[in-house]
Structure 1
Amino acid sequence: MKKIIITLLLGFSALLHAQSTVSGTVTNMTSQPIKGVSIYAPELHKGTTTDENGKYSLSNLPNGNVKLTFTFVGFTTVNKTIKGLQQENTLDVILEETIFQMDEVIVSTAFNKIQSQNVMKVEHETIKELQQKGTATLIEGLATIPGVSQVSTGTSIGKPVIRGLSGNRVLVYSQGVRMENQQFGDEHGLGLNDAGVESVEVIKGPASLLYGSDALGGVLYFNPEKFADANTFKANFSQKLFSNTLGSNSSLGLKTSTENWKFIARGSYNTHSDYRVSGGDRVTNTRYNETDFKTGIGYSNSSFSSVLRYNYNKLDLGIPEDGIAAQSSSKNTAFPRQGVFNHLLSLNSIIYLKDSKLDVDLGYVANDRSEFEDSDIAGLQMKLKTFNYDAKYHLPKMGKLESILGIQGMHQTNVNSGEEYLIPDATTNDFGVFGTVNYEWDNNSALQAGLRFDNRKITTEEHGTLGEEGYFKAVDKSFDSFNASLGYKTNLADDLTLRLNLASGFRAPNLAELTSNGVHEGTNRYEVGNSDLKTEQNVQSDINLEYNNSHFEFFVNGFYNHINNYIYTSPTGAVLDSNDVFNYIQDNAMLYGGEIGLHFHPHPLDWLHYETSFETVTGKKQNGDFLPLIPANNWNNTIRTEFKIKNWFETGFATLNFATTFNQQNVSGFETESNGYTLVNLGLGGTVKLGKTVFDVNLNGNNLFDKKYIAHLSRLKNDGIPNIGRNIVLGVNFNL
């Protein structure tokens, strides 16, 4: 395999034409040079920074068109497309000062625009910003984004919820590859570690046009850590300590690049004891351990760019069954427990043609999930192997019209190795074809549209004895779907932007919904599948209105989501094996709500920021009953100050956050209502300079007053087990 990859890379490097170089100077509005500006070519995974004179140079660029992004803290982001590169090109850039965060390039949408130019509203957060909030896990950090919540099992297992939809209705992408990790199970977590991840993009709404089945509710798109700038070597070490779980998170990363080649590697280890609730008791067997390793190698020249990445993730998770019982600070998981091994291999290649390009993503995911009830012999072991392919051809631009044609598919096998079966052995094949166009005019308006066809074929094997628990009949099903999207963006005024989007999405029934026949330990129910289930199909309308100037930002997002054939479980009234029997059935449903927020930076108090946001979602069946697992309304308020202490403490910040969750009384038939609560969180951090030693430090106090509460989407709620109490988090980060 290694020889094949090297041969391919060398073969493409033979296509090298005359090198193209871009150089220039970056200045501010008063023509003063800016040192340290990042210039990055996203498609080439290549970048550099300006010197003390504001000068930069990038070589070995494609002969056609290339996109460059200029970013620097405190200044607006500039996105430039250079058309028809010559051997020597000059591009001088002027950056304008701004108070608010940088305008990032959005990778998860088709045309990779910066957010201010994007037709679809996409939330973008860097992992550094999420970590500064002191959250223990990646999913906890994601849940601080308006419109995003989590279904949690203690602190170790979290599943994302986007505007009331979760599980197989939300797609997760990492390294440009669709993650498949048995996500149908309530007790199956995300399976991703934030080490080696640069940022996350959240599409809130159907994204089936670009991603096919299961993107009915939205997409979480994780961007991997960037490579080092050309001709540099960087090393990084970070350490976090958690008071509540007596936890530790350590990470070490190395990366280096030449003009053509680039390499990166990062390893991390995460270990936690049982979490402590308010009052001092620990929730038995919520401890967990995680090992994560990521590496990548890339090559680019004037006609070709390719990046090969690999991620290994190992999870050892305790499964809480006894609530608050035996008290221990041990980090060794007890029975029952889960062992999860995940391998992710991805290859992204871009071939630059004269006026167009071909973008190809190949991915392989191997997920091995075992459950150990009372011994080291796995009673349940599911091995899921998934091969993904995604090819997009960017046609030559015709005036102001951009267009893309693409194909996308997946081949997946599920094999059981244990005695217990949650789902049968199965094979799933996806194939989709799509086209999308983007038209811009007047420098402030854009229209985007697309159309797609998909087919999913699911074949399962018969298993067990007819009429008994664990019997699965053979299933051979094919699901087809046409989907479309239409979006419009315009600037109503210089500082006021309007976005309108209408899109459809779909989700084929998963294996559990089609075939279940037995007790699901994660829900304490006897679940019976339905092989006659139809495809879920939805249409969602979105409106986004944003206003921003140098001292004030305001946004309002509204949505209405209608879903035909929504799949859910319903009690039958029967009891088997001392468990209530639930059937999978379908009904039309609707979800509606939105988010509203503002960011105020008063002049002349340049050191002060106030941010507030409110989010709400309501989900109902066609008969008026409420849908399950709908997050409660939430109101978030943050006061942030920025400061500097002489020459030894720079980019300092202090935050005071009040997160209020309201009562949730809109519950489904087998849920219980939840009381509201307010958590107070405190944060302090900055960059410390002691001689030649420079490091970042963060100190966070979450749930500072040790509030006792139970989140509505906690899987431990039915047992009356509270969520985590006070947690003090200390983090340091050294660039070696």
Structure 2
Amino acid sequence: MLKCFSFFMLLWSSGVINAQTFFHGTIASGGKPLTDITIIVGNTGRGTKSDTNGYYLITNIPKGSHHIKYSGVGYYTHNVRINFTTDTVLKNIELSESSSQLKEVVVTGVSRATELRSNPVPVAVITKQQMERTVNNNIIDAITKGVPGVTAVTTGPNVSKPFIRGLGYNRVLTLYDGIRQEGQQWGDEHGIEVDQYGISRAEVVKGPASLTYGSDALAGVVNLIPYVPVNNSRVVTGDLTTDYHTNNGLIAASIGLAYKPSAWKYALRATAKSAHNYRNAIDGYVYNTAYQEYILSGMARVDKKWGYSQFSATVYDNKQEIPDGSRDSITRRFTMQVAEGASDDIKDRPLAPQDWLSSYGVTPIHQHIQHYRLYNKTEVKLGNGLFNSMLGWQQSVRREYNHPTLPQQAGLYVVLNTLNYDFRYNLPSLKGWETAIGLNGIYQTNTSRDATDFPIPDYNLFDIGAFLFLKKSFGKIDVSGGLRYDTRHIDWPDFFVGTNASNRFEQKADPNNSTGSRLQFPEFKHIYNGVSGSLGLTYNVSERLLLKANVARGYRAPNITEIGSNGLDPGAHIVYLGNRSFDPEFSLQEDIGLIAYLNDADVQVELFNNNIQNYIYQSRLDDEQGNPVIIVPGNVTYQYQQSAAQLYGGELTVNLHPRSMKWLTINNSLAYVTGINKNEALRAQSNDAAKYLPFIPPLHLRSQAKAGLNKSYGMFSKICVIAGIDMYAAQNRYYGLNDTETATPGYTLVNAGLSSTIKTRAGKPLFDLSVQADNLFDVAYQSNLSRLKYFEYYSTSPNGRKGIYNMGRNISFKIIVPF
């Protein structure tokens, strides 16, 4: 009765009951309604998603015979043909569960939504359900746990920079809802400015994706797709998520609201996180790793016959402490900086107060990262074609406070403004060819404000590129590829630095009155150009066996720190020296893959070989005697290098789902990459030390068993038990010249978890509960991708341990309350 009432209310609200064809029904699995299932009606351009009750409604379907496709993550795709001869068609569908993702539809790195099975480029998907069933410190954490070949360079638990197959920083393009994230990603010491609780799925392209995105997608793309509500009623819906971590006392709360009164739908989310210093068995509490994070996001979207238009905005505010690793040489307890310059003896500082180590407050030595985003995405149906546009504005404000004698004075204070634009047109299909053309890029300005350190100049950047993408199926073979041309203009005027008479620190000087100041960044103008492209095919041997091959040429212009840096980044504790003569990087990567969906297992093999011209990387700068060059006391000096490089390796995934034990899945993955430095001049100094590239992850094996119990036990239902191991081999292939990196021992981490839906006696779900234990046996380890490993000021240590260790045992609790 309620469904009938809802249906006729929808007819009445449309105002055109006699002029439309109404196609509606419910979607379920095992008698339970399914939400967020996609329903597409042939080539009509009509489609929708099921709501929280499994209900769907599509209007304005032309009469005639149409192919209907029902698809959703974790379920077999259901196809049916329906002849629409009446005004109202009712179709209730039952879907079967599946652990295979072959039918998963992706939108990243392609011209239009494409099934994974037909895409020759390696792409991985992390769903909202997968993210909700695990507890993570940040969104990049969730991705590294779920995608083989993706790792992260970290500076503590809340700072993670994504790396794909050994390449990171500006080589990995991070997108938010398809818009390139611009937050001064050249810096080591702050993470991605995104709300992890507001992401519905993440798509990862492993390999050059410059074809559709241009510069900075040399290694691949991480596309973070925010949640778009699908509710169709005039009722406010949402969820409340809370997190607590025992190791660093993380307390997090996030509330999301959604409302759809008409053709418009609205969503709002607010998130707050706070954590004190993390700890491990070697270091105890790691001083100055606490943080506070606040995020607000909102969306308004209208869906019409002609397409849709969506307006979104986000506000991000993060205060993150800055560890420097200074300690007492005997007790190895952490010390705190209280003086500066000649008065600051880094090996004779006072001990950090004990009550500060477990305090949620932020110390004077910290950074303040703010990020603001406003954008519009619009899709317009033009006959059988589709036009998409995106216009966005972002502002990143980054302040780093490193003056204990003057805590209100920022050492680094830069403001980055970015305008994003993207226009693309999917032409009508012609003889089976799907064709798309596009134009996109950014305009960017960076300005230093009231600061004392100036690692990069003020600069202007304009980037534009055009592409052509083609796709066609020839029987069992799907072919896709295209070409792109990019140009980037970057310039800055003379940048002078003088002395501030009031505090004796340096300050930005007036270029029109440079008396008594020095020229830190001479004027610079340059134009970088690049051609990129790809060509690949998928051979559908059968419905369950696929072979893939792809070759792609990627392009990346040097970033601002690589060509322009000349000073201290106080948050990184590094003096960077760039090179104005650098050329763009170009890569040529070959990928081959095999996917087999068997009765009791999914098997996926991906192999790659990547040759890079003009590869840019950091190397510690030493003098002629082999001693580190110290320009600023207590800070290491790194100079950028450029040479040829080669990276090769692959990933193997074997997911077991025995039909005789439908309650059990065992997911296994193996990832390996080797990075070869082809700089012959450096290898001539020491072939062993300079043979390999920096920041290359070791061999990584992950295995996880998951048991799902379909029965209810009192108030507990949908019980899921998870146990797994992460094995990291020793990394003895590292960039060791001038002790830039050192060997890293291998280690194994054991993790376990339990999740369940808590319901009332009447069977109504109340909330979802997850309990997870990471590093269950409190193993003391150092990741070779942790920058804190190298925060050490002594040549010897009384306990034989040097640098800072990663987080110890952490038991976390998550509660999600839907409403």
TM over 0.5: yes
Write the distance in 1 (CA, Å) between the matches of 2:544 and 2:47: 32
Establish whether residue 634 from structure 1 lines up as the match of residue 700 from structure 2. yes
Judge conservation of contact 1:63–1:302 (CA < 8 Å) in 2.
Answer: no
Write the distance in 1 (CA, Å) between the matches of 2:315 and 2:68: 31
Cα separation, partners in 2 of 1:276 and 1:491, compared to 1, 3 Å = same
Q: 2:656 — aligned with what? A: 600
Write the distance in 1 (CA, Å) between the matches of 2:744 and 2:75: 44
Gaps of 5+ in 2: 1-15, 327-332, 335-351, 498-513, 624-628, 684-690, 793-802
Amino acid at match of 2:767: F
TM-score normalised to the size of structure 1? Answer: 0.91
Write the distance in 1 (CA, Å) between the matches of 2:562 and 2:784: 24
Partner-residue secondary structure (3-state), 2:520: coil
- Greater Cα offset, 322-331 or 94-103: 94-103
Judge conservation of contact 1:19–1:59 (CA < 8 Å) in 2.
Answer: no
Write the distance in 2 (CA, Å) between the matches of 1:62 and 1:356: 18
Establish whether residue 249 from structure 1 lines up as the match of residue 252 from structure 2. yes
For 1:483-522, what aligned pairs fall within 5 Å after superposition?
483-521=532-570
Establish whether residue 340 from structure 1 lines up as the match of residue 369 from structure 2. yes
Q: 2:639 — aligned with what? A: 583
Q: 1:650 — aligned with what? A: 717
Cα separation, partners in 2 of 1:257 and 1:218, compared to 1, 3 Å = same
Write the distance in 2 (CA, Å) between the matches of 1:584 and 1:73: 44
Cα separation, partners in 2 of 1:55 and 1:239, compared to 1, 3 Å = closer
Cα separation, partners in 2 of 1:25 and 1:706, compared to 1, 3 Å = same
Q: 2:474 — aligned with what? A: 441
Partner-residue secondary structure (3-state), 2:622: strand
Task: From 580, 599, 604, give the equivalent of 1:555.
Answer: 604
Deviation at 1:254, TM superposition (A): 0.7
Amino acid at match of 2:479: L
Cα separation, partners in 2 of 1:656 and 1:468, compared to 1, 3 Å = farther
For 1:372-451, what aligned pairs fall within 5 Å after superposition?
372-373=401-402, 374=404, 375-417=407-449, 418-442=451-475, 444-451=476-483
Q: 2:501 — aligned with what? A: none
Q: 2:781 — aligned with what? A: 709
Amino acid at match of 1:435: L
Task: From 350, 355, 380, give the equivalent of 1:351.
Answer: 380
CA offsets 1:408-436 (integer angstroms, 9 cap, x no match): 12100001002321111100001111110
- Greater Cα offset, 713-722 or 466-475: 466-475
Judge conservation of contact 1:64–1:354 (CA < 8 Å) in 2.
Answer: no
Deviation at 1:321, TM superposition (A): 1.4
- Greater Cα offset, 256-265 or 205-214: 256-265
Judge conservation of contact 1:158–1:190 (CA < 8 Å) in 2.
Answer: yes
Q: 1:272 — aligned with what? A: 275
CA offsets 1:561-602 (integer angstroms, 9 cap, x no match): 110000123345332425665432211101000100201122
Partner-residue secondary structure (3-state), 1:419: coil
Q: 1:457 — aligned with what? A: 489
Write the distance in 2 (CA, Å) between the matches of 1:82 and 1:507: 49
For 1:156-167, what aligned pairs fall within 5 Å after superposition?
156-167=158-169
Amino acid at match of 1:275: Y
Partner-residue secondary structure (3-state), 1:573: coil
- Greater Cα offset, 353-362 or 187-196: 187-196
Cα separation, partners in 2 of 1:545 and 1:101, compared to 1, 3 Å = closer
Larger gyration radius, structure 1 or structure 2: 2
Cα separation, partners in 2 of 1:528 and 1:353, compared to 1, 3 Å = same
Write the distance in 2 (CA, Å) between the matches of 1:424 and 1:152: 26
CA offsets 1:321-367 (integer angstroms, 9 cap, x no match): 14552232111111320001101112110111111111111111110
Q: 1:363 — aligned with what? A: 392
Number of matched residues?
715
Cα separation, partners in 2 of 1:213 and 1:79, compared to 1, 3 Å = farther
Write the distance in 2 (CA, Å) between the matches of 1:336 and 1:79: 59
Cα separation, partners in 2 of 1:285 and 1:208, compared to 1, 3 Å = same
Q: 1:115 — aligned with what? A: 116
- Greater Cα offset, 115-124 or 246-255: 115-124
Amino acid at match of 2:362: T
CA offsets 1:436-482 (integer angstroms, 9 cap, x no match): 0110132x421001111110000112112699987111110101111
Gaps of 5+ in 1: 1-15
Judge conservation of contact 1:552–1:601 (CA < 8 Å) in 2.
Answer: yes
- Greater Cα offset, 288-297 or 685-694: 685-694
- Greater Cα offset, 691-700 or 378-387: 691-700
Partner-residue secondary structure (3-state), 2:211: helix
Q: 2:263 — aligned with what? A: 260
Partner-residue secondary structure (3-state), 1:195: helix
The two structures, once aligned, show a CA RMSD in angstroms of 3.0
Write the distance in 1 (CA, Å) between the matches of 2:150 and 2:649: 13
Judge conservation of contact 1:61–1:301 (CA < 8 Å) in 2.
Answer: no
For 1:72-151, what aligned pairs fall within 5 Å after superposition?
75-78=75-78, 97-101=96-100, 103-108=103-108, 109-144=110-145, 145-151=147-153
Deviation at 1:491, TM superposition (A): 1.4
Identity %: 30
Partner-residue secondary structure (3-state), 2:496: coil
Partner-residue secondary structure (3-state), 1:526: strand
Deviation at 1:640, TM superposition (A): 1.0
Judge conservation of contact 2:35–2:49 (CA < 8 Å) in 1.
Answer: no
CA offsets 1:395-416 (integer angstroms, 9 cap, x no match): 1111321110111121000010
Write the distance in 2 (CA, Å) between the matches of 1:411 and 1:315: 25
Q: 1:542 — aligned with what? A: 591
Q: 1:4 — aligned with what? A: none
Amino acid at match of 1:661: Y
Write the distance in 2 (CA, Å) between the matches of 1:72 and 1:662: 37
Judge conservation of contact 1:77–1:104 (CA < 8 Å) in 2.
Answer: no
Deviation at 1:26, TM superposition (A): 6.4
Deviation at 1:614, TM superposition (A): 0.6
Write the distance in 2 (CA, Å) between the matches of 1:242 and 1:608: 28
Deviation at 1:281, TM superposition (A): 1.2
Amino acid at match of 2:112: F
Partner-residue secondary structure (3-state), 2:563: helix
Write the distance in 1 (CA, Å) between the matches of 2:173 and 2:61: 33
Q: 1:3 — aligned with what? A: none
Task: From 166, 169, 172, give the equivalent of 2:171.
Answer: 169
Judge conservation of contact 1:75–1:95 (CA < 8 Å) in 2.
Answer: no
- Greater Cα offset, 124-133 or 544-553: 124-133
Deviation at 1:66, TM superposition (A): 12
Write the distance in 1 (CA, Å) between the matches of 2:556 and 2:521: 22
Cα separation, partners in 2 of 1:259 and 1:488, compared to 1, 3 Å = farther
Judge conservation of contact 1:60–1:301 (CA < 8 Å) in 2.
Answer: no
Write the distance in 2 (CA, Å) between the matches of 1:539 and 1:87: 55
Deviation at 1:91, TM superposition (A): 8.7
